[in-house]
Amino acid sequence: MKETVSVLGAGTMGRGIAQVAATAQHPVVLYDPYPAALEKALLEIGADLKKSAEKGRLAEPPEAVLARIQPSQTLEEAAQAAWVIEAVPEKLELKQELLARLGRLNPKAILATNTSTLSVSAIAAAVEAPERVLGLHFFNPAQRMRLVEVVGGLRTEAALITQALALMQSWGKEPVQVSDTPGFLVNRVARPFYGEALRLHGEGIAKEHIDWIMRGLGFPMGPFELMDLIGLDVNYAASTSVYQAFYGEPRYRPHPLQQQRVVAGLLGRKTGQGWYTYPPGPPPRPAPPATPHTNPPLPLILGPNPLAQALRARFPHAETPERARFVLDCRVVLERKEDTPPGLPVVSLVWGHSASRLAAPLRGQPVAGFSLVPPIGPSSIVELYPPLSGPNPALELARAYFEAHGHTTLVLPDQPGGVGFRILALLINEAVSALAEGVASPADLDRAMRLGTGYPLGPLEWAEQLWLKPVLRALEGLQAELGEDRYRPHPLLRRMVAAGLEAFRNLSPKGEDGQISTKEAR
Ligand code: NAD
C-alpha cells in the first residue's frame, strides 16, 4: 500500500491535489475545518473523476478513487501521513501555525506548502524541524496541469527534494526544482507578460491589438483576456507581492490601470467585467487580408539576423537596391540603420527604437517602423508604426507587401520595441535574471514556462532563436529611448554576448562557489 498523503484545505487547490494523489493510488486524508468545504470538495472531485472516466482517462471506476479520500475535520487524523501538503489560505501565520502543529503531532511527516507568494523558508522557520519543510507549488487546476515547482527552502534537507521530485513523477507530473525566491519561477518570469502589456496599453495601444498580436505569436491567450480569466485581483496581488519582495525593483512595478479596475470591482470573468465584458468577452481576431495585392512591391532586405533570414526565405525580395521599391531594414542598432541606401522609402525594425527616432537621421527618405517576431507563421501579425510626422509612402509599401503575403497588419501609435517584441524581450530578460540567480536550470526554466503558462517556446530558447546580440542591443535601445531602468539588460546577457556565447544550455545554474559558471561555447 502506498504512503498516506494528507491535504490541508479543501478549496480550489486542495481538492485538485487530493484528487491527483488518490488517482495515484495513495490513501488521502482531506482536512478542512469547515464541513461545507469538505462536502463541496468531494462532490467536485467526484464530478471531475466521472468526466475523466468518460474520456477514458481513468484506469479504475471513479468511486474507487473517491473511496481512497477520507474527509476529516481533525488535525490529529491528518497528521498520520507520510506527506502533508497544505493548501490553506495564503496567510503566513496560518500556514506557520498549521505546519508547526503538524510537525509536533508527527515529527516524521514531510511537510509541504502549496504557497504561491510566501517564502517557504519563512513558513519553515516556525516548524521545529525546518529541514522537513519544502514547497510543492501546483498550478490550477492541479488535476490537469502537469507542472509542479518543487521548492527547497534555505534549510530544507537535500534528500527531501529528491524524494519530492520522485513522488511528483510517480503522480504523472513534470516537476521542476526551483529555489525559494519571490514568485518562484513561473510567477516571476511571467510578470512582464502582464506588466509590459499594461505599459503598452498605458502608452496608447488598444488592449484588443495587444491580445491579437500575442496570440499571433503563439501564446494561448493575450495578456488582457488572460488577466480576465485569472482575476484582476489575483493577478494584481501577485504583481504587488513580487514587487514588494524585491524591494521596489522597477521591473516589477504594478500598473495603476490594473489597480483602478481592481478597486472598481472589475475583476474579470468572475464579475462579468474586467478588461472585457462577459458575455461576449474579447472581440474575435481580425481576419487575414481578403484580397491580396497582386504584384507586391519588392524590398531590399537588410540585416544578418534570424528575422532578416526568415523574411528572405519566406517572401520574394530584391537582391540589389536598383531592383527594390523600398528597404526593409531588420537591423537593430541605430548607428547601423543610418547606413541605408539613399533614395528609397525605408521600413525599419523598431525593436530598439521608435519609428520617429529611426526617421530622424534619414531626412528626405520616407520612413515607417515595423515589427514581426520569428518564428513567423501564417497567424503572425505585422505591426506597422508611422512616425509622429504621420503616414507616408513607406508605411503603404510595407502594408501592401505584408498583406500580399497573407499577413494581417495593424497600424499602431509609434513607440519603441513594438508590442510583441517588447513583451517578449522583457520575458527573456526576466528569464535571464532568474537563471543568473540560480532559480532553475536553463532547460527546467524553458520547460516550466511552456508547461505552466502554455508559452509556445521557453523564453531562453526563444532568445537563442532570435540571437542574443540583437535582443541585447534592442534592450539597450529601449532603455536609452524610454529612459527607464526596467529595460536595462541583465548583466548575464551582456556577459554572454561579450563572450560570444549563443546558448544558455552551456551555462550551469550554479558552480561550487554559488556563481553561474560557463561551459564551453557552442
Ligand atoms: P481556497 O480559498 O479555494 O481554499 C482554501 C481552503 O482552506 C478552503 O476550503 C477553506 O475552508 C480552508 N481553510 C480555511 N482555514 C483553514 C484552516 N485553518 N485549516 C485548514 N483549512 C482551512 O484557496 P486556494 O485557491 O485553493 O489556495 C490555497 C493555497 O494554494 C494558497 O496558498 C494559494 O496561494 C495557493 N495556490 C493557489 C492557486 C490558485 O490558482 N488558486 C495556484 C497555486 C497555489
Taking 3-state DSSP, the helix, strand and coil percentages for the chain, each rounded to the nearest 5, stand at 45, 15, 40
**214-272 pLDDT tens trace:** 999 999 999 999 999 999 999 999 999 999 999 999 999 999 999 999 999 999 999 99
Instruction: Locate the ligand 1 atom nearest the alpha carbon of residue 94 and give its number.
Output: 18
Q: How far, in Å, CA of 487 to CA of 500, rounded?
A: 22
Distance 88 CA to ligand 1 centre (A): 4
Answer for the pair 270, 278: CB distance below 8 angstroms, yes or no.
no
Mutate to test the pocket of ligand 1, among 98, 116, 229 (most ligand atoms within 8 A of CB): 116
Residue whose Cα lies nearest atom 29 of ligand 1: it is 87
Provide the pLDDT for residue 195.
98
Distance 158 CA to ligand 1 centre (A): 27
Mutate to test the pocket of ligand 1, among 88, 178, 185 (most ligand atoms within 8 A of CB): 88
Distance 229 CA to ligand 1 centre (A): 18
Q: How far, in Å, CA of 30 to CA of 14, rounded?
A: 8
Regions of the chain where pLDDT drops below 50: 511-515, 517-522
Mutate to test the pocket of ligand 1, among 45, 111, 114 (most ligand atoms within 8 A of CB): 114
Answer for the pair 296, 401: CB distance below 8 angstroms, yes or no.
yes
Q: Among positive and negative, which fits the CA dihedral 177, 178, 184, 186? A: negative
> Is 116 known to be catalytic?
yes
DSSP H helices, 24-68, are 35-54, 62-66
Distance 238 CA to ligand 1 centre (A): 15
Answer for the pair 45, 19: CB distance below 8 angstroms, yes or no.
yes
**417-470 pLDDT tens trace:** 999 999 999 999 999 999 999 999 999 999 999 999 999 999 999 999 999 999
Q: In the structure grid, which three cell numbers stand for residue 340, read together?
A: 541605408
Domains of the chain, first to last:
5-180 (3.40.50.720), 187-271 (1.10.1040.50), 299-407 (no CATH), 420-518 (1.10.1040.50)
Q: Among positive and negative, which fits the CA dihedral 357, 361, 363, 369? A: negative
> Is 149 known to be catalytic?
yes
Instruction: Locate the ligand 1 atom nearest the alpha carbon of residue 117 and give its number.
Output: 34
Given 187, 241, 354, 441, which residue is catalytic?
187
Ligand 1 pocket (Cβ < 6 Å) reads: 8-14, 32-34, 37, 87-90, 94, 98, 114-116, 138, 140
Given 72, 114, 116, 305, which residue is catalytic?
116
Provide the pLDDT for residue 512.
46
